[in-house]
Amino acid sequence: MITLVINKIKWELVLILLFLFRYPETRLFIYLRRFIYKGLLKRMGLGVDIFSAVFISEPGNIEIGSNVTIHEFCLISGYGGVKIGDEVSIAAGSKIFSATHPYDNPKVKIRRGGLIKAPVEIGDNVWIGANVVITPGVKIGSGVVVGAGAVVTKDLEDNCVYGGVPAKLIKRRF
C-alpha cells in the first residue's frame, strides 16, 4: 500500500515537471524532457528530441529509436503500442493513434464500448510531415515520406512518398 502511494506521488511529480518543462524551447529544456521521458517510455534511443507541447499517453507502451525528433503539438497515443524506428522526424501537429472505439454494436454506446488496440510501427529514416494523422494498426516502412495533412489508414511500402486523405502512393523515392 505504501509503495502504491509513493508511486502515485512520483507520477504526480513527473507530471508537474513535464508541465513546467513543456513550453520553453531551449536546448536545456529539450535535454530535461529527454531525461524525463527516458524514464517513462518503454525504450528510448540516443539523441531523441521531444519539443514543447507534445502529449504522450501511455508512455510505457511506446518505443522510440535513436536520432528521432518529435516536434511541437504532436500527440502519440500509446494504448495499443507504438514503435518508432531510428532517424525519424515527426513534424508539428502530427497525431499517432494506436487504439480506437468499436462502433458496430447498436446496443452499446460508442464511448462506452472500450478500446480496440492495434500497434503502430514506423520504420527507420521516415519523415512524417506536419499535421499527419496515423490510425491504429498501421505499419509505415523504412525510407517513407508522408506529406503534410495526410491521413494514413493502411500500411505504407518502403522508400515511397505518400500524401492525401486517405494517404496514397505519390511516387517511389528511388
Of 8, 43, 101, 168, which one is the catalytic site residue? 101
Structurally, the chain folds into a number of domains equal to: 1
Q: What are 2-55's pLDDT values in tens digits?
A: 666 666 666 666 666 666 655 566 777 788 888 888 888 999 999 999 988 899
Domain containing 123 equals 2-172
Hey, what's the cell of 165? 486523405
CATH number of residue 47's parent domain: 2.160.10.10
Name every residue whose Cβ is closer than 8 Å to that of residue 16 and which is 6 or more positions away in sequence: none
| Share of residues in the chain with pLDDT > 70 (%) | 86
DSSP 53: T
DSSP readout, 86-148?
SS-EE-TT-EE--EE-----TTS-GGGS--EE--EEE-SS-EE-TT-EE-TT-EE-TT-EE-T
**Residues belonging to the chain:** 174
Total Cβ atoms within 10 A of residue 170:
14
- Packing angle, helices 2-20 and 27-40, rounded to 10: 150
* Residue 25 to residue 87: CA distance in whole angstroms: 21
Q: What are 69-79's pLDDT values in tens digits?
A: 999 999 999 99
* 101 assigned to active site: yes
Q: Is 52 in contact with 26 (CB distance < 8 Å)?
A: no
